[in-house]
Chain A
Amino acid sequence: MTTSVDDAITRAGAIVARFRTLFVGVGVAGRCAVVAKSLNPELTVIFESGIIGASLTSPPRSISDRRLYERCRYVAAQDELFDCWLGGRRIEAAIVGAAQIDLNGCVNTTVIGGYANPRARLPGAGGAPEVRPLLASVVVIPQAEGRIVDSVDFVTYRLPEDVERWLVTDRGVWYARAGEPRLAPEVP
């Protein structure tokens, strides 16, 4: 039986499958990218480890998984990845996970509680603040219980406002057009 977690992953994968180049973050984003790649075999999938055009037939063990580049277009050094692909905005869409998010598009992957005395220390920013896609940004949180808040504990970064944004969860989907500051529930 399909669970709502699987539904969220399938839904997020379908959203990003319509683009040509996709940046994929750690964790659950990799499972969404497998869905997207199966729907759109022409999709160029890019990881922050520098892997460009991964074949992506199964979910990666990590973003440096060598199985990701056994059949990829090439492996860019990370300075090319961050400066030219991400800084130069050569990627149409991005999909990442998050520990906490608010509907202004503020994402927290740093701390729950205060920075100096956190109740829970999270992994931190990684490469997510560098990701400025040209067209669309998707955050996927398959189990959203307690993770969508009025105001995040810490703003690690804010989703760029000049692109379409989706928040995809087991509780539903939120969306903002390019230029709109706030995400709103998507009418089914």
Chain B
Amino acid sequence: MSPRMMALGDAVAAMVRSRDTVSIEGFGQRIPFAAVHEIVRQRIGELHLVRMGVDLVGDQLLGAGLVATLTFSWAGNPGLGTLRRFRKAVEDRAPRAVALEELSHGALLAAYRAGAAGLPFALTRSFEASDLPAHSPLLAPIACPFTGEPLHAVRAVRPDVTILHGQRADRAGNVELAGVIGAERFAAFAAARTLVTVEELVDALEPRFGSAIVPAEVVTTVVNAPGGARPSGVDGYYDRDDEAYREWDALSRDDARFERWLAAL
């Protein structure tokens, strides 16, 4: 079945449901801001958000009170520091309490890969002396069956829906990613359905140096959304808008300004 091409509002309404486990990936680049803003506009809530680097999109969903559970490995404004809405959610439980399922980058990447491979868990050596396993429901101690070495199991992540932004898609729904390649492909393979926004639709994708493909078999819906990753960058199309990241820091630390941003979105 070839992936459906849809308008953004329709695609989000059809594919993202209240209480879904929603993975949003793109490691500092190709971040699907337009799709996330559509979730906020439609006020789709009680979400279980899964994201390695919870940056501005995570801050916006948390600030809007749409996230009930957060699986993550880092939460900051890249290059600038703290995320104000994330901190308010965790420290003050405002606008609502959020359950944290916390990992490291390597462990969350492994959890996606286990989910994509149909395995129940992945293995990690990252938490030997860490306090995190005592607080993270995704981690459990396990011994190597061959040597007895103490390790940790990381529960597999299987999103209901994964949301990505790519450079280009062809008519069949194959999606090209270029630049920094993070968990995107594994998050798509691990998910029940995947929504991808792209800069450009083309008839056919010719192989390009340094790019990766999310194959049509794991792409449910493609949305043509030029600029859909702004203010993050998309290689070959536009660079990160540093000023917008600084502006978010100023806006998000002020409750009234944040509420006005939310109302005007």
Which A residues are closer than 8 A to B by beta carbons? Answer: 26-27, 48-51, 60-66, 69, 74-75, 77-79, 82, 86-87, 106, 110, 115-116, 118-121, 123-130, 132, 154-158
Contact = CB atoms under 8 A, between A and B. Distances in A.
Nearest to A160: B128
Given A49-B27, A64-B29, A126 B104 contact: yes
20 contacts: A26-B76, A26-B79, A50-B180, A61-B242, A62-B28, A62-B79, A63-B28, A64-B78, A65-B28, A65-B240, A77-B181, A110-B131, A121-B75, A121-B90, A121-B91, A123-B75, A124-B73, A124-B74, A129-B104, A130-B105
A74 B27 CA distance: 17
Interface of chain A, helix or strand or loop or mixed?
loop
Contact of A64 (B76, B132, B180, B212): B180
Contact of A87 (B75, B91, B113, B125): B125
B29 A66 contact: yes
A50 B184 CA distance: 14
B4 interface: no
A121 B72 CA distance: 14
B28 A123 contact: no
B91 A75 contact: no
Top 8 A-B pairs ranked by shortest CB distance? A64-B28, A130-B106, A158-B129, A62-B78, A129-B126, A123-B76, A62-B79, A127-B105
A8 to B, nearest CB: 18
B233 interface: yes
Given A125-B74, A130-B104, A75 B181 contact: yes
Interface string B129-146: 111100100000000000
Interface of B: 27-29, 53, 72-76, 78-79, 81-83, 86-87, 90-91, 102-107, 109-110, 113, 125-132, 135, 179-183, 186, 210, 212, 233, 235, 239-240, 242
Contacts of A49: 27-28, 180, 182
A129 B129 CA distance: 10
Nearest to A63: B28
Contacts of B73: 124-127
Contacts of B83: 123
Contact of B27 (A27, A64, A66, A130): A64
B90 A50 contact: no
Nearest to B55: A62
Contacts of B212: 77
Contacts of B127: 129, 157
A125 B29 CA distance: 20
Given A51-B180, A66-B233, A75-B210, A125 B103 contact: yes
Nearest to B179: A66
- Select the residue from A61, A62, A74, A156 with max chain B CB neighbours within 10 A: A62
Contact of A127 (B102, B106, B130, B135): B106
Contacts of A74: 210
Contact of B104 (A50, A63, A78, A128): A128
Contacts of A158: 128-130
Nearest to B53: A126
Nearest to B128: A158
A100 B249 CA distance: 23
B78 A63 contact: yes
Nearest to B76: A123
B8 to A, nearest CB: 24
A118 B113 CA distance: 31
Given A50-B181, A61-B240, 8 more contacts: A66-B240, A77-B182, A82-B106, A124-B73, A124-B74, A124-B102, A132-B125, A156-B130
